[in-house]
């Protein structure tokens, strides 16, 4: 059996239903685009796109009794059909049988995406040699690539995304066109750019994807700050320049967007703070600068606020060294500072950063693993990680000091919390009340 036909077996029931409604009325129905490509790669289908030669009015009339049909791009004849599997896209192409789907495929971005399988017989339509390109891991624009990139410059970024997610390599002609078209990416809506970028960053070939983005000029548009580290040497702890070290740190991080963004930005300010002192490059204060630059880049990409904040916390706290010598109190303070839900990402980032040094001298993954185990042990002891876990509260502070509500109450609680993080045995009501009576008045801002 033609392997692309297997995509039909995986088709959700609702899609099958749509196919039957249209084919019984004498029209044709094809599965198109990424899902066919993914079937050839034996990957699980994600979202479903279809094409039909039914005029859009007929399409809506035939599907409406069974589905909620939302006309999204009537100019292009596109509707969304709502199903339990999410919205499925059906595009109507008036034309003579297969001519309709050929017109559709010609509008797609890369040959590997310009594929269609006919329902229900399973015939593969591959007018641009996409299947062969996929086998050879070749990324090639459909038809006249430059004109196609002009129509929608997002395709230039999608090229790097497919390098990162599918391990494809651009052919020389496509590469030339990508280079010419990259500046046009500036005209594209930020949200679309961000979505593609996130997919790129979580791909298994992320180094190759980012390298293609650099060589084509996409990085220049999207994150020029990263290029400042290109060919910028570091010190003897590092085998790579700042740029390559960053790429390898992303690669060594797990494929989760939060930690990968943190890895991408973890040294972003380094080129700007690099100073040569007695012949050695030093990077004083770069953790704070990193977090500030990371924040402005994430804002520029309109990254949702919570995600952006979390990434900045990871960036600001990744420079943790000498933890083997730390007392438990210091580990508890780190847990408090970063917050329990971010700890796994922080440890993964620290390990990835060390793996990306590329030298023996700095290999410190084992110490990260030891810290991981210590954190697990300390968390199992259920330390008082926030003020609500203290054996005293604000009312106790006010009563013990004979004062009313005000900033002093908060200051005392914070100080008491610090004491408890240092020594959990102090978290007893009688002990803390005695401390507050004795020293609470003297607590001032830290
Ligand atoms: P994913 O794995 O993210 O679903 P995909 O390639 O399927 O990747 P979609 O955004 O779902 O991407 O688009 C489905 C199909 O529509 C693509 O495979 C491609 O054929 C076509 N397509 C999507 N975006 C573009 C675009 N900007 N220009 C041209 N064709 C596009
Ligand atoms: Mg898709």
For 162-257, strand residue ranges (E) read: 169-170
Please report the pLDDT score of residue 403 as a whole number.
93
Question: What confidence tens digit (pLDDT) does each residue in 74-106 have?
Answer: 777 899 999 988 899 999 988 777 888 898 899
| CATH number where 292 lies | 1.10.3210
Which residue's CA is the nearest one to ligand 1's atom 7? 34
Tokens of 101: 């789907």
The yes-or-no verdict on residue 425 having pLDDT over 60 is yes
The yes-or-no verdict on residue 361 having pLDDT over 60 is no
| The residue to which tokens 């990416």 are assigned | 185
| CATH number where 211 lies | 1.10.110.30
Q: How far apart are CA 19 and CA 69, in angstroms?
A: 15
Centroid of ligand 1 to alpha carbon of 154 (angstroms): 11
Residues 12 and 52 in one domain: yes
Please report the pLDDT score of residue 231 as a whole number.
79
Split at pLDDT 50, 70, 90, the class of 23 is very high
Residues 215 and 245 in one domain: no
Asked whether 13 lines ligand 1 (CB < 6 A), one says: no
Please report the pLDDT score of residue 285 as a whole number.
66
Residues 431 and 351 in one domain: no
Q: How far apart are CA 389 and CA 427, in angstroms?
A: 9
Q: How far apart are CA 186 and CA 338, in angstroms?
A: 35
Residues 235 and 376 in one domain: yes
Residues 376 and 429 in one domain: no
Domain boundary among the residues 222, 249, 274 is at: 222
Residues 14 and 95 in one domain: yes
What is the average pLDDT value for the chain, to the nearest integer?
Answer: 91
At residue 217, the 3 state secondary structure works out as coil
* Domain region containing 164: 137-222
Q: Choose which residue among 40, 45, 109, 168 to substitute to test ligand 1 binding: the one with the highest number of ligand atoms within 8 A of its C-beta.
A: 109
Give the helix ranges, DSSP H, for 217-285: 218-222, 224-227, 242-252, 257-265, 270-273
Domain boundary among the residues 380, 410, 431 is at: 380
Least confident of 107-121, 242-256, 350-364, 422-436: 350-364
Domain boundary among the residues 105, 132, 159 is at: 132
Centroid of ligand 1 to alpha carbon of 111 (angstroms): 11
- Which ligand number lies closest to the CA of residue 48? 2
> What torsion, rounded to 10 degrees, do the Cα atoms 44, 47, 51, 57 define?
150
The yes-or-no verdict on residue 363 having pLDDT over 70 is no
The answer to whether the peptide bond before residue 213 is cis (omega within 30 degrees of 0) is: no
Residues 122 and 147 in one domain: no
Please report the pLDDT score of residue 1 as a whole number.
67
**DSSP state letter for 279:** T
Residues 290 and 329 in one domain: yes
Tokens of 164: 């990162």
Report which ligand 1 atom has the smallest distance to the Cα of 155.
27
Asked whether 365 lines ligand 1 (CB < 6 A), one says: no
Q: Which of 31, 19, 86 is nearest to 59 (CA)?
A: 19
Residues 22 and 116 in one domain: yes
Q: Which of 108, 121, 115 is nearest to 135 (CA)?
A: 115
CB 396 within 8 A of CB 436: yes
Q: How far apart are CA 429 and CA 391, in angstroms?
A: 5
- Helices and strands (H and E) in the chain: how many: 24, 11
Mean pLDDT of 385-402: 91
Q: Tally the domains of the chain.
A: 4
Report which ligand 1 atom has the smallest distance to the Cα of 152.
27
Residues around ion ligand 2, judged by CB within 5 A, are 34, 47
Strand order in the sheet with 29-32: 68-73, 78-83, 86-92, 49-52, 29-32, 116-119, 124-125
Asked whether 152 lines ligand 1 (CB < 6 A), one says: yes
Please report the pLDDT score of residue 24 as a whole number.
97
Residues 11 and 107 in one domain: yes
Centroid of ligand 1 to alpha carbon of 142 (angstroms): 13
Centroid of ligand 1 to alpha carbon of 313 (angstroms): 33
Question: What confidence tens digit (pLDDT) does each residue in 185-232 have?
Answer: 999 999 999 999 999 999 999 999 999 999 999 999 999 999 998 877
Q: How far apart are CA 414 and CA 395, in angstroms?
A: 14
Q: Which residues pair with 82 in a beta bridge?
A: 68, 87
Residues 200 and 110 in one domain: no
Centroid of ligand 1 to alpha carbon of 49 (angstroms): 9
What is the three-state SS of 143-166? CCHHHHHHHCCHHHHHHHHHHHHH
Q: How far apart are CA 61 and CA 53, in angstroms?
A: 14
At residue 304, the 3 state secondary structure works out as coil
Asked whether 400 lines ligand 1 (CB < 6 A), one says: no
Longest Cα–Cα distance in the chain: 90
Question: What confidence tens digit (pLDDT) does each residue in 323-353 have?
Answer: 888 888 999 999 999 999 999 999 999 999 9
Residues 354 and 421 in one domain: no
| CATH number where 15 lies | 3.30.460.10
Mean pLDDT of 255-268: 97
End-to-end CA distance of the chain: 72
Asked whether 373 lines ligand 1 (CB < 6 A), one says: no
CB 10 within 8 A of CB 39: yes
């Amino acid at each position: 059996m033609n392997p692309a036909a297997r995509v039909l077996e995986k088709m959700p029931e609702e899609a099958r239903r749509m196919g039957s409604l249209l084919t019984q009325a004498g029209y044709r129905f094809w599965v198109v685009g990424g899902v066919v490509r993914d079937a050839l790669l034996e990957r699980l289908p994600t979202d479903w796109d279809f094409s039909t030669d039914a005029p859009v009015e007929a399409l809506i009339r035939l599907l409406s009794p069974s589905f909620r049909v939302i006309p999204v791009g009537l100019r292009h004849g596109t509707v969304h059909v709502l199903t339990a599997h999410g919205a499925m896209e059906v595009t109507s192409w008036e034309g003579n049988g297969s001519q309709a789907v050929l017109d559709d495929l010609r509008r797609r971005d890369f040959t590997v995406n310009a594929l269609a399988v006919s329902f229900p017989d399973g015939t593969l339509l591959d007018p641009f040699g996409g299947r062969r390109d996929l086998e050879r891991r070749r990324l090639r624009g459909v038809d006249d690539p430059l004109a196609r990139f002009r129509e929608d410059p997002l395709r230039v970024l999608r090229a790097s995304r497919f390098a990162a997610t599918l391990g494809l390599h651009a052919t020389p002609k496509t590469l030339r066109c990508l280079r010419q078209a990259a500046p046009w990416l500036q005209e594209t809506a930020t949200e679309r750019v961000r979505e593609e970028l996130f997919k790129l960053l979580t791909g298994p070939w992320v180094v190759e994807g980012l390298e293609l983005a650099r060589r084509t000029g996409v990085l220049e548009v999207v994150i020029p700050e990263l290029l400042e580290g290109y060919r910028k040497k570091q010190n003897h702890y590092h085998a790579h320049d700042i740029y390559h070290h960053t790429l390898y740190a992303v690669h060594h991080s797990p494929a989760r967007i939060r930690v990968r963004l943190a890895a991408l930005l973890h040294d972003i300010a380094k080129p700007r703070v690099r100073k040569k002192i007695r012949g050695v490059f030093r990077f004083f204060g770069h953790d704070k600068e990193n977090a500030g630059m990371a924040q402005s880049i994430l804002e520029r990409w309109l990254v949702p606020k919570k995600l952006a904040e979390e990434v900045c916390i990871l960036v600001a706290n990744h420079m943790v060294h000498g933890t083997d010598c730390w007392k438990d109190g210091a580990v508890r303070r780190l847990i408090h500072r970063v917050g329990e839900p971010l700890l796994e990402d922080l440890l993964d980032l620290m390990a990835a950063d060390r793996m990306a040094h590329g030298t023996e001298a700095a290999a410190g993954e084992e110490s990260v693993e030891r810290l991981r185990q210590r954190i697990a042990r300390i968390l199992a002891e259920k330390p008082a990680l926030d003020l609500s876990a203290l054996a005293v509260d604000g009312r106790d502070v006010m009563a013990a000091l004979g004062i009313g509500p005000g900033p002093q109450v908060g200051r005392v609680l914070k100080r008491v919390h610090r004491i408890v993080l240092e020594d959990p045995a102090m978290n007893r009501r009688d002990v803390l009340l005695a401390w507050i009576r004795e020293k609470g008045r003297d607590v001032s801002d830290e």
